[in-house]
Amino acid sequence: MESGATGDLREEAITRLKKKRDFRTHAFMYVVVNAMLVAIWAITSPDGFFWPIFPILGWGIGLAGNAWDVYGRKPITEEEIRREQERMRS
């Protein structure tokens, strides 16, 4: 039977792996959908205003936030929990 710390670490690892898998799916769909929008623009109005820039940039902001959540955010440490508890007690 797993100890509490080992079980917690396992659950955290599973959560992180799911986030990474979800991000890869998100990034793939971003590329596919935006490539289709650029193709539609190229077929219908190649000399016109490049309107796909709006979904590319808008969705790109969301994708960047998702990437930060998956790869940039540090886990909460015991020290941070302790400091927050001290603030709450004051």
Q: Supply the pLDDT for residue 75.
A: 83
**Would the pTM count as exceeding 0.85?**
no
Measured from the Cβ of residue 38, the count of other Cβ atoms closer than 10 Å reads 16
Please give the angle made by the CA atoms of 81, 85 and 88, to the nearest 5 degrees.
140
Buried b / exposed e along 14-36 (16+ C-beta atoms within 10 A): eeeeeeeeebeeeeeebeeebee
Per-domain boundaries in the chain = 4-89
Grade residue 1 by pLDDT with cuts at 50, 70 and 90: very low
The region, left, alpha or beta by phi > 0 then psi within -120 to 50, assigned to residue 50 is beta
